[in-house]
Structure 1
Amino acid sequence: MSRQFEDAQLGDMELFVLAADAASFTAAAEHTGMTPSAVSRSVARLEARLGVRLFMRTTRQIRLSDAGRLYLAQCRLTLSQLGEVERQLSRQQAQPAGVVRLSLATGYGRHRVLPLLPRFRQRHPEICLEIQLSNRNVDFAKDRFDLAVRARHQADSSLVARKIEDSELVVVASPGYLARAGEPQSIDDLRGHECIQFVLPRTGRCVDWSFIVDGQDVEVSTRGSITCSEELDGGVHLARHGGGLYQTSRFLVERELLSGELVEVLAPFGGRSRPFSIVYPSARHLHKRARLLAEFLLDNLGPNQGGHMRARV
């Protein structure tokens, strides 16, 4: 869209209204700290642009022309509307309002983030949340998301990623499966077990399993006849019903481990974790309502990381 107004024109309109109200260039000048000649030139610019006389001038006074009275009414309306919009925006900054669009990795979203969001809404009742649960990478420009929370995100210099927390990984199986297939005692034992596979949507590849062996981080390719994609919870349900071994985040299976539906195995080789991060475009100014949500999640999920995030959002 081409510009209709130059930067100085709204200022010229304001000076015109002041001069019309005071019926004097001198009085308008005193009100603004300008010289009478500067106010006169400002009004002259408007008249030249419009091609009409806004004031009838004599050596002693000015008075509005018919065109000036019509233009004055419209200027008052325009400036009043602009002032009201600015006041509304200022109030929103004081008490943030509006919509925050948030994309969440499915399992992490359900188990870690969604339970917290009602409390965020109680603190900020004027902020509305639009939430998507998906493990696919977000196209911020196309999908108009403000924030995303992901375990793995594509390396992209246009995005900022701030870690929320490290989620511990565990390998689990049902008591029934272990009674049938035996409990693995070493990483090599995985070759003889049914290992439920999870496929990354971005790559289409099965996720390697992560362990610590002799103090070293190790990635292991496992094999299994059952493959899941999209939903991490799918592997948990399969494991609960005897489908095999499954490596996943501890928060996804805490309840089942407590109830005995699942049993942790290979604990001596555990200790690896997966980072979950808040992601947003680096080129975009993060508005206050989105920043408040990011800070809230960090304070409630990653207390040791909160101050660092707030300093850089």
Structure 2
Amino acid sequence: MSRHFDDLQLGSLELFCLAADSGSFTAAATEAGVTPAAVSRSVARLEERLGVRLFVRTTRRMRLSEAGQAYYQQCRQALGQLVEAERQVTGGQVAPSGRLRISVPTPYAHHRLLPLLPAFQQRYPQVQVDVHVSNRNVDFAEEHFDLAIRGREPADSRLVARRLEDAPLVVVATPAYLARRGTPQVPEDLAGHECIQFELASSGRRPRWSFRRDGRELELETDGSFTCLGDFLATATLVRHGAGLMQAYRFTVQEALDSGALVEVLAEYGGTSRPFVLIYPQARHMPLRLRVFIDYLFAEGARSHG
């Protein structure tokens, strides 16, 4: 059997994938320990060999071309298979390595994911983690994310969705606000209160507040003088400074509730929750770094919040 690739071409494939992952020749060069010129030459060799442009470059950004995107998906899978083959042959002794790109909404990032990352890095020091903290939906193919955490399952059947947890909801306010405006006794009393709003980036809508009464879920539209866009944790800051009431994930305000800085109201109408879902593309061969991260996330999540 004649050789189809030489060592230089295989190295060019790795540098091409690094450049696609990072969106930058400079960042790829830093990760690979070579010069940006070396990355540029490697990509140029591939483009000459294939007879297509792999990247579309402008003065402000660099992105994969349509042909480059298709080639990247195949190359990334093939390189992952090589790593997996080494892992199996050596009895699993190949250490997870490479870069993970994760997109996660602000409340889950600050209160769930980010606190877990230092211990993960100590366990797997050759894995680098890029965390994109945002509530907007991301395009896995276009933006090269390995996984995302979102508040709902995706409609795209090409994506795997695994539920991380159902996060309980709670309505809170400061003691000072309640002393000034009174404490709502039933959900309908919220019509006379300042209810801090959050606008979803993906849809531009404000979620209704959710309650449970007589075993059935009740959703109410609320209103107030303040609306936060983009960062859900901004609502918690407003609440702590007495701006009004807010329905939040309990895990984002638990410390303030424990200290008495915030007070839970309408507790007898609680019991509702919203999910957080781990999402990643389907693949026959999952990179080892992604597999160990997913396993770690579920194991630590189960240990820390049941």
Bigger Rg, which one:
1
Distance 1:260 1:87, change over 3 A: closer
Moved more, 262-271 or 284-293: 284-293
Distance 1:266 1:87, change over 3 A: closer
Deviation of residue 223 (structure 1)? 1.2
Conservation of the 8 A alpha-carbon contact between 2:154 and 2:161: no
Alpha-carbon distance in structure 2 between the residues aligned to 1:101 and 1:256 = 32
Conservation of the 8 A alpha-carbon contact between 1:159 and 1:280: yes
Question: What residue number does 1:103 align with?
Answer: 103
3-state DSSP class of the match of 1:9? Answer: coil
Question: What residue number does 1:135 align with?
Answer: 135
Question: What residue number does 1:90 align with?
Answer: 86
Deviation of residue 305 (structure 1)? 12
Deviation of residue 284 (structure 1)? 6.7
Deviation of residue 214 (structure 1)? 0.6
Distance 1:302 1:138, change over 3 A: farther
CA displacement, residues 96-152 of structure 1 (integer Å, 9 cap, x when unaligned): 111111111111111111011111111111111111111110110111010111123
Alpha-carbon distance in structure 1 between the residues aligned to 2:290 and 2:280 = 10
Question: What residue number does 1:24 align with?
Answer: none
Alpha-carbon distance in structure 2 between the residues aligned to 1:87 and 1:246 = 48
What runs of 5+ residues in structure 1 fail to find an aligned partner? 1-7, 14-84, 307-313
Conservation of the 8 A alpha-carbon contact between 1:198 and 1:235: yes
Question: What residue number does 2:3 align with?
Answer: 10
Distance 1:138 1:302, change over 3 A: farther
Are 1:149 and 2:149 matched, yes or no? Answer: yes
Deviation of residue 241 (structure 1)? 1.1
Alpha-carbon distance in structure 2 between the residues aligned to 1:225 and 1:248 = 17
Question: Aligned pairs, how many?
Answer: 227
CA displacement, residues 133-172 of structure 1 (integer Å, 9 cap, x when unaligned): 1111011011101011112354222221101111110000
Are 1:206 and 2:206 matched, yes or no? Answer: yes
Conservation of the 8 A alpha-carbon contact between 1:298 and 1:305: no
Are 1:217 and 2:210 matched, yes or no? Answer: no
Deviation of residue 282 (structure 1)? 2.4
1:24-39 correspondence to structure 2 within 5 Å: none
3-state DSSP class of the match of 2:129? Answer: strand
Equivalent pairs: percent with the same residue?
49
CA displacement, residues 252-301 of structure 1 (integer Å, 9 cap, x when unaligned): 10111112111000000101111111101125742111011111111111
Alpha-carbon distance in structure 2 between the residues aligned to 1:128 and 1:213 = 46
Question: What residue number does 2:191 align with?
Answer: 191
User: Which residue identity lines up with residue 9 of structure 1 in the other structure?
Assistant: S
1:50-69 correspondence to structure 2 within 5 Å: none
User: Which residue identity lines up with residue 288 of structure 1 in the other structure?
Assistant: L
What runs of 5+ residues in structure 2 fail to find an aligned partner? 7-80
CA displacement, residues 171-214 of structure 1 (integer Å, 9 cap, x when unaligned): 00011110011000101111111110111111100111111011
Question: What residue number does 1:175 align with?
Answer: 175
Deviation of residue 235 (structure 1)? 0.6
Conservation of the 8 A alpha-carbon contact between 1:101 and 1:144: yes
Conservation of the 8 A alpha-carbon contact between 1:149 and 1:277: yes
Question: What residue number does 2:227 align with?
Answer: 227
Question: What residue number does 2:22 align with?
Answer: none
User: Which residue identity lines up with residue 228 of structure 1 in the other structure?
Assistant: C
Conservation of the 8 A alpha-carbon contact between 1:164 and 1:305: no
Alpha-carbon distance in structure 1 between the residues aligned to 2:302 and 2:138 = 22
1:297-312 correspondence to structure 2 within 5 Å: 297-302=297-302
Are 1:263 and 2:259 matched, yes or no? Answer: no
Distance 1:284 1:304, change over 3 A: farther
3-state DSSP class of the match of 2:3? Answer: helix
Question: What residue number does 1:43 align with?
Answer: none
Alpha-carbon distance in structure 2 between the residues aligned to 1:302 and 1:274 = 17
Question: What residue number does 2:114 align with?
Answer: 114
Alpha-carbon distance in structure 1 between the residues aligned to 2:256 and 2:248 = 13
Distance 1:261 1:284, change over 3 A: farther
3-state DSSP class of the match of 1:217? Answer: strand
Question: What residue number does 2:288 align with?
Answer: 288
CA displacement, residues 196-247 of structure 1 (integer Å, 9 cap, x when unaligned): 0111111100111111011001111111121011111111111111111100
Alpha-carbon distance in structure 2 between the residues aligned to 1:238 and 1:87 = 48
3-state DSSP class of the match of 1:100? Answer: strand
